Structure 1
Amino acid sequence: MAQRPSPAPNAATQPEHAPATPPPRTLSQGIVVASYLLMAAALLLVMWRGLLPGLLCVCLGFLLTRALTGWFAQGLRRLQRHNAPTAPSLRAAQIAAAALVMLLPLALLAAGLTHSRGYLVTAPQQYQELLNYMARTVLELRLKLPVDVASHLPEGAAEIQRIIANYLGAKAGSLAMAGRAWLAGLLFAYVGLLIGALAAVRPPVLAQAPLAQQLKTRITLFGEAFRQIVAAQFWIAAFNTLLTALFLLFVLPLWDLRLPYTPMLITFTFVAGLVPIVGNLVCNVVITIVGLSVSPLAAAACLGFLILIHKAEYVINAKVVGRRTQMGVWELLSVMFVAEAVFGPAGLVAAPLFYAYLKKELVAAQLV
């Protein structure tokens, strides 16, 4: 009688020590966690090594190149009688947009060195002089105010004046060593602009590994946060700077009032305006103190004007930026306070952007 063939081995009869393949879900979760860790490490490295200007300019160069490419493509579409541009035409539009983004800063820098070389090269020293000037103004507060107002100042006001003056003097001392950092920041910013422009015209890659896809998602969310926070704040700061320049250069001279260090005050207004809320307060204090060095009337005029335009800017900021990112004022102030304590002034600039990106990740993960 023939023997019955033994059954083929199945999974139940295989040895227990056979290697088991991890389930796909475990692999995907590990890849997502790895992408989060890599993104967090990259942002911390940027803050630790002082590369924030470069990071911001990477995003700015990318968005500007994409926007200019769209405008150039629309122009080509009109030239081709409303037909879709061909692939070579789109590539030409991309190259033209990237070239404009990369070459325009060099042209502006060349023009600036031609007409305002001293201001650009010695900017840290000039702001050092401005801080020392403000320190002297604070110390001479009783002499600047009318006699009847100065007599009502409390006795402890002199000590407060000395504390403020010493603080301003310390900041001026730190600016004396900032010349090399100023030039390095400009270099990092331009290199970042180049990287962003080149990344915007890079041909798309269809096949991507899982980790690359997750990192692309992280970078896309970060770019959306940048567009909502920094781009909106940029236009708000530009509008604020324009009004301040008109006030300092044209309105005050009509009353025979001219503030010293006007070019630096205008530049500082734009830079401070990039920092939500806190930048407005600092800008108000600086311009008002400089106005007080001229006369109490100039200080009152500066304070009234700045409060007026900054209140309007505050409403725009709260309505536009806050609505887009679902961030409350108390959240923003808390994050900026902690970031400034950890990373210094760069933390004030980075805090709104990083916190907006964090909220986007939490919303995408359905955690908030």
Structure 2
Amino acid sequence: MERQYNWVKSSSYLLAAGGILAVLGLHLLQALFAGMLVFLLVQLAQPLVGRVVAGSRGKLVATAILAILIIAGMVGLGLWIASMLHGGAGLDAIWSKMAETLDSANDVLPPWLLGSLPSSGPELKAEAVHWLREHAPELRLLGKEAGLAAAHILIGMVIGAMVAVHEVSSRSERRPLAAALHERVGTFYKAFRRVFVAQGKIAALNAFFTGLYLLAVLPALGIHLPFGKTMVLITAIVGLLPVVGNLISNSIIVMISFSVSPYAALLSLLFLIVLHKAEYFLNARIVGGEIDAKAWEILVAMVLMEALFGFGGVALAPVVYAYIKAELKAARLI
């Protein structure tokens, strides 16, 4: 009996590992995250449903309606973000402004720094296009595959909603392998929930202080940066990616600041250094508190996963690391 139990548990670990590799290899990460996010939001609202609705059938119907509303809200939010990022003060305008800034940098920056930068806006664009072509499989939300990625996200949300509704009504006893797999999936979901909540807190704090700096502190000093609200929105979105998100938002803010004046760029650089020094300790406290891991551990996991799986590995690394650590702790190996 014990031998069968060990075989079943080992099989569930192998199937869980295969599932993670399949998600990365088939580029289904966006569907996985969308589904787990919908499931998480339904689970968070579940206590409210229990207070308002009585009876198992009533709770089932209420949960289904709640899941539909959550999907509709997420789709609406996604469309609003897309309209903001592609509007008149969106990414295209920011890109043009950054190219103009590089074009005019020859008269301001020292020669040793210019040697390491593209000499003009068109050169910057050519290098970016080359990079995008090399990394096309990892950037599935761009170009002709945007529709497929959107379909994956929508299907993922529907699956997450269906699983959440099924959890309310399911009371059947699971057989050994099914029970072991359910345990693996449950542990992975808990890891996602802890990482998402922790990184969400960090992204919100980052966006708040960045907005305070761009929309209040700089105007009080007589410095008015273009695209302030768009940059805050970008900071909030990419802030959900540990480390990498900060690099993206910081680069944009410093470049746009430089388009106003070198003094504004220096001030922005100093602010971002101070903010992210403080954020490093917050990261260690918030993420470390949620998944019991140091910031450097997460960074090592991200570097390894990026080398193995590219951009998708970076996004999934904190969750996979938290999941592996939880499984090792449950097995009393660490």
TM-score (norm 2): 0.84
Q: Distance in 2 between matches of 1:130 and 1:44?
A: 36
Superposed, 1:1-368 pairs within 5 Å as 24-76=1-53, 85-108=54-77, 112=80, 117=83, 119-120=85-86, 127=91, 130=94, 133-134=97-98, 137-138=101-102, 140-144=104-108, 153=110, 156-162=112-118, 169-175=126-132, 178-202=142-166, 203-368=169-334
Cα distance, 1:243–1:348 mapped onto 2, change above 3 Å: same
Find the aligned partners of 1:243 and 1:301 in 2 and give their Cα distance.
14
Supply the distance in 2 between the matched residues of 1:331 and 1:186 (Cα, whole angstroms): 32
Looking at structure 1, the residues matched to 275 and 63 of structure 2 have their Cα atoms a distance apart, in angstroms, of 38
Tell me which residue corresponds to 2:139. none
Spell out, residue by residue over 1:3-33, the C-alpha distance to the aligned partner (whole angstroms, 9 max, x if none). xxxxxxxxxxxxxxxxxxxxx2232222212
Q: 1:129 to 1:334 in 2, by over 3 A?
A: farther
Query: Secondary structure at the residue paired with 1:259?
Result: coil
In structure 2, C-alpha distance between the alignment counterparts of 1:205 and 1:295, rounded to whole Å: 64
Task: Report which stretch shifted further, 214-223 or 259-268.
Answer: 259-268
1:317-351 Cα deviation digits (max 9, x unpaired):
21121123221222211111122222222222111
CA 1:104 to 1:306, structure 2 compared with 1: closer, same or farther past 3 Å? Answer: same
Please report how far the alpha carbon of residue 357 of structure 1 lies from its aligned counterpart in structure 2 after TM superposition.
Answer: 0.7
Against the structure 1 CA distance between its residues 207 and 364, is the aligned structure 2 distance closer, same or farther, given a 3 Å change threshold? same
SS in 2 for 1:161: coil
The 2-side partners of 1:99 and 1:87 are apart by: 19
- Output the amino acid matched with 2:21: L
CA distance in 2, matches of 1:307, 1:169: 30
Shift of 1:204: 1.6
Q: 8 Å contact 1:61–1:196 — kept in the other structure?
A: yes
Which ranges of structure 2 fall in alignment gaps of 5 or more residues?
A: 137-141
Task: State the Cα distance separating 1:139 from its structure 2 match.
Answer: 6.4
Task: Evaluate the alpha carbon distance shift between residue 104 and residue 164 of structure 1 in structure 2; reply closer, same or farther with a 3 A threshold.
Answer: same
Percent identical residues? 32
Which has the higher Rg, Structure 1 or Structure 2? 1
Give me the whole-angstrom Cα distance separating, in 1, the residues matched to 2:93 and 2:132: 10
SS in 1 for 2:117: helix
Tell me how far 1:215 sits from its aligned partner: 0.5
Structure 1: tracts of 5 or more residues without a match: 1-23, 77-84, 145-149
Q: What is the CA–CA distance in structure 2 between the aligned matches of 1:343 and 1:120, rounded to whole Å?
A: 29
State the shift of 1:170 in Å. 2.7
Alpha-carbon deviations, 1:260-282, whole Å to 9, x = none?
44454233312321122343244
Aligned residues: 324
C-alpha distance in structure 1 between counterparts of 2:23 and 2:239, whole Å: 22
The offset of 1:312, in angstroms, is 3.4
Deviation at 1:224, TM superposition (A): 0.9
Aligned-partner SS, 1:201 = helix
User: Which gives a bigger RCO, structure 1 or 2 (Cα 8 Å, sep 6+)?
Assistant: 2
Could you tell me how far apart the structure 1 residues matched to 2:228 and 2:126 are? 20
